[in-house]
Structure 1
Amino acid sequence: MSDAAFDDLEGAANLDPENPYITNPKTAFEDADSLSEGEAETQVARLREAVRFHDYRYYVLNDPVISDRAYDRLFERLQELEDAFDLRAEDSPTRRVGGEPVEELGTVEHVAPMLSIDSSGDESDVREFDERVRRNVDGDVDYVCEPKFDGLSIEIVYEDGRYVRAATRGDGQTGEDVTENVRTIESVPSRLRGDHPGFLAVRGEVYMPREAFQEHNRERVEAGEEPFANPRNAAAGTLRQLDPSVTADRPLDCFFYDILAAGEREEDVADATASRGALGAEGLDTHWSEHEQFPDWGLKVNDRTRLVEDIEDAIAYRNELQDAREDLDYEIDGVVYKVNSRAQCADLGTTSRHYRWAYAYKFPARSETTRITDIVVQVGRTGRLTPVALLEPVDVAGVTVSRASLHNQDEIAAMDVNVGDDVRVERAGEVIPYVDEVVEKHATGHFEMPDECPVCGSETERRGPLHYCTGGLACPAQLKRSVEYFASDDGLDIEGLGTEAAEQFVEEGLVDSVADLYELTVDDIAELDGWGETSARKLVDELADSRDPSLAEFLAAIGIPEVGPTVARDLARHFGGLDAVLDASEDDLREVDGVGETVAGEIREFFENERNRDVIERLRDRGVTPHVESEETGSELDGLTVVFTGSVEDWTRDELEALVEEHGGNATGSVSSNTDYLVVGDNPGTTKREDADTEGVPVLSPEEFFELLDDRGIEV
Structure 2
Amino acid sequence: MTTEEKIKQLSNELEQHNYKYYVLDSPEISDFDFDMKLKELQDLEDKNPEFFDASSPTQRVGGAITKNFETVVHDFPMQSLSNSYSKEELEEWEARVKKMVDGELEYVCELKYDGASISLTYEKGKLIRAVTRGDGVQGDDVTNNIRTIRTVPLNLKGDFPDKFAIRGEIVLPYEGFAKMNAERVEIGEEPYSNPRNTASGSLKMQDSAEVAKRPLDCLLYSLIGRDLNLSSQYEGLEKARNWGFKVPKEAKLTKNIDEVLEFIQYWDIHRHDLPYETDGVVVKVNNLHQQDELGSTAKSPRWAIAYKFKAERESTVLREITYQVGRTGAITPVANLDPVQLAGTIVKRASLHNADQIQKLDIREGDTVFVEKGGEIIPKIIGVDFTHRDPNSEETQYIKQCPECGTDLVRAEGEAHHYCPNDNGCFPQIVGRIQHYISRKAMDIEGLGGETVALLVKAGLIHNYADLYTLKKEDVLPLERMADKSADNLILGIEKSKEIPFERLLFALGIRYVGETVAKKLAKHYKSIQNLMQATTEDLINVDEIGQRIAQSVIDFFASEENRNTIKRLMDFGLQLEISAEKLANQTDILQGNTFVISGVFSKVSRTDLKKLIEDNGGKVSSSISAKTNYLVAGENMGPSKLVKAEKLGTEILSEDEFLEKLNPS
> TM class by shorter-chain length?
0.5 to 0.7
| Alignment-derived partner of residue 17 in structure 2 | 54
Report the 3-state secondary structure (helix = DSSP H, G, I; strand = E; otherwise coil) of the residue aligned with 1:156. strand
Contact 2:361 2:383 in 1 (8 A): no
Superposed CA offset, 1:296-341 (max 9, x none) = 1111100110000111111111110111111110000000000000
Contact 1:154 1:203 in 2 (8 A): yes
| Alignment-derived partner of residue 352 in structure 2 | 403
**Higher Cα Rg, which structure:** 1
Report the 3-state secondary structure (helix = DSSP H, G, I; strand = E; otherwise coil) of the residue aligned with 1:352. coil
Contact 2:361 2:384 in 1 (8 A): no
C-alpha displacement of 1:85: 2.1
Unaligned runs of 5+ in 1: 1-37, 264-280, 378-387, 457-475, 485-496, 505-530, 540-716
Summarize the Cα distance change of 1:389–1:102 in structure 2 as closer, same or farther, 3 Å threshold: closer
Report the 3-state secondary structure (helix = DSSP H, G, I; strand = E; otherwise coil) of the residue aligned with 1:146. strand
Give the whole-Å Cα distance in 2 for the aligned partners of 1:230 and 1:409. 21
| Alignment-derived partner of residue 224 in structure 1 | 188
C-alpha displacement of 1:534: 12
Q: Does the alignment pair 1:80 with 2:43?
A: yes
| Alignment-derived partner of residue 207 in structure 2 | 243
| Alignment-derived partner of residue 146 in structure 2 | 182
Report the 3-state secondary structure (helix = DSSP H, G, I; strand = E; otherwise coil) of the residue aligned with 1:63. coil
Summarize the Cα distance change of 1:390–1:447 in structure 2 as closer, same or farther, 3 Å threshold: farther
C-alpha displacement of 1:185: 0.5
C-alpha displacement of 1:64: 2.1
Contact 1:202 1:256 in 2 (8 A): yes
Contact 1:418 1:447 in 2 (8 A): no
Contact 1:325 1:332 in 2 (8 A): yes
Q: Does the alignment pair 1:193 with 2:161?
A: no
Mapping of residues 352-367 of structure 1, within 5 Å: 352-367=298-313
TM-score normalised according to structure 2 size: 0.54
Contact 2:122 2:163 in 1 (8 A): yes
Amino acid at match of 2:135: D
| Alignment-derived partner of residue 320 in structure 1 | 266
Mapping of residues 328-347 of structure 1, within 5 Å: 328-347=274-293
C-alpha displacement of 1:162: 0.7
Contact 2:221 2:237 in 1 (8 A): yes
Aligned residues: percent identity?
38
Give the whole-Å Cα distance in 1 for the aligned partners of 2:20 and 2:149. 15
TM-score normalised according to structure 1 size: 0.50
| Alignment-derived partner of residue 489 in structure 2 | none
Summarize the Cα distance change of 1:409–1:153 in structure 2 as closer, same or farther, 3 Å threshold: closer
Summarize the Cα distance change of 1:234–1:407 in structure 2 as closer, same or farther, 3 Å threshold: closer
| Alignment-derived partner of residue 172 in structure 1 | 136
Which of 310, 313, 335 aligns to 1:390? It is: 335
Summarize the Cα distance change of 1:120–1:433 in structure 2 as closer, same or farther, 3 Å threshold: farther
Amino acid at match of 1:41: E
Which of 391, 414, 433 aligns to 1:498? It is: 414
C-alpha displacement of 1:91: 1.1
Superposed CA offset, 1:21-63 (max 9, x none) = xxxxxxxxxxxxxxxxx74322211100101111222233222
Unaligned runs of 5+ in 2: 324-332, 401-407, 421-535, 541-546, 549-666
Report the 3-state secondary structure (helix = DSSP H, G, I; strand = E; otherwise coil) of the residue aligned with 2:293. helix
Which of 84, 106, 119 aligns to 1:155? It is: 119
Give the whole-Å Cα distance in 2 for the aligned partners of 1:139 and 1:91. 44
Give the whole-Å Cα distance in 1 for the aligned partners of 2:281 and 2:313. 19
Contact 1:105 1:178 in 2 (8 A): yes
Summarize the Cα distance change of 1:298–1:395 in structure 2 as closer, same or farther, 3 Å threshold: farther
Give the whole-Å Cα distance in 1 for the aligned partners of 2:17 and 2:159. 19
| Alignment-derived partner of residue 218 in structure 2 | 254
Amino acid at match of 1:197: P
Mapping of residues 587-598 of structure 1, within 5 Å: none
Which of 267, 277, 292 aligns to 2:238? It is: 292
Q: Does the alignment pair 1:433 with 2:381?
A: yes
Q: Does the alignment pair 1:125 with 2:41?
A: no
Of 223-232 and 154-163, deviating more is 223-232
Give the whole-Å Cα distance in 1 for the aligned partners of 2:395 and 2:162. 73
C-alpha displacement of 1:395: 10
CA RMSD of aligned residues (A): 4.2
Summarize the Cα distance change of 1:92–1:306 in structure 2 as closer, same or farther, 3 Å threshold: same
Amino acid at match of 1:356: R
C-alpha displacement of 1:359: 0.3
Summarize the Cα distance change of 1:67–1:371 in structure 2 as closer, same or farther, 3 Å threshold: farther
Amino acid at match of 1:305: A
Contact 1:119 1:359 in 2 (8 A): yes
Amino acid at match of 1:239: L
C-alpha displacement of 1:446: 4.6
Amino acid at match of 1:48: S
C-alpha displacement of 1:447: 7.8
